[in-house]
Amino acid sequence: MEPRARAGKNVGKETFNRKEVSSLLYAYGDVEDPLPDTMRVLDEIVTEFLDGICFEASRHAQVAGRQKLKFDDFEFALRRNPQYLGRVRSMIEKRQEIKEARQGFNEDETAVAKDAAKDAAAPTTSGTARDDALDDLDEDEDLEYLNSAVPTKGTSSKKRKKAPK
């Protein structure tokens, strides 16, 4: 369907949020509370522009034998306007950088997880982790600390000895 025919369906209906259109107009020098007609006209212009670009991109995708749109299709649709084309190309580059950064992050995370799994699966030489911890303790003081920190049956939490600092 031709984009102009499609645009006829939405005549009188606003596509974008009034607050967003108002903020856009204010950012470009209009008053803080623009006229409703101004906002309606801007909404129609932007909607028609986006419909036209999407129509051209979908037409290019059809000719290429695809049902889904790609960035290349939009690049083709905007080929006559160097400002828009430059913006689309910069968006494509940023998207690629983000994709590569995510992939690198996921690879790093996977490597860390594999190393942790290997460490957990490796058997210890002296037996258990508790035995390893006890080997490192100073004889009497640290054993007293461990025994006082573990509550025994029948003692309340108020009666437990606090560990020396």
- The tens digit of pLDDT for each residue in 2-27 reads 555 555 666 667 788 899 999 989 99
Q: Does any domain span residue 30? A: yes
Residue 159 reports pLDDT greater than 60 = no
Higher pLDDT, 132 or 95: 95
72 and 98 assigned to the same domain: no
Residue 31: alpha-carbon gap to chain centroid: 34
- Contact call for residues 107 and 125 (beta carbons, < 8 A): no
69 and 99 assigned to the same domain: no
Question: In angstroms, rounded to a whole number, what is the distance separating the alpha carbons of residues 48 and 46?
Answer: 5
pLDDT of residue 153: 56
Q: Does any domain span residue 164? A: no
- Torsion sign across C-alpha atoms 100, 103, 107, 108: positive
Statement: the pTM of the whole predicted model exceeds 0.75:
no
Query: In this predicted model, what pLDDT tens digit does every residue of 98-122 receive, in sequence order?
Result: 999 888 877 777 777 777 777 776 6
Q: How confident is the model at residue 163 (pLDDT cuts 50, 70, 90)?
A: low
Q: DSSP string of 41-109?
A: HHHHHHHHHHHHHHHHHHHHHHHTT-SS--HHHHHHHTTT-HHHHHHHHHHHHHHHHHHHHHHHHHHHH
Question: In angstroms, rounded to a whole number, what is the distance separating the alpha carbons of residues 48 and 51?
Answer: 5
42 and 69 assigned to the same domain: yes
* Proportion of the chain above pLDDT 90, given as a percent: 28
Q: How confident is the model at residue 31 (pLDDT cuts 50, 70, 90)?
A: very high
- Matching residue, tokens 């991109």: 57
63 and 7 assigned to the same domain: yes
- Torsion sign across C-alpha atoms 137, 143, 149, 151: positive
- Matching residue, tokens 């037409």: 59
- Contact call for residues 81 and 52 (beta carbons, < 8 A): no
17 and 56 assigned to the same domain: yes
At 83, which amino acid appears? Q
What range defines the domain where residue 115 resides? 90-150
30 and 67 assigned to the same domain: yes
Instruction: Report the CATH number at residue 11.
Output: 1.10.20.10
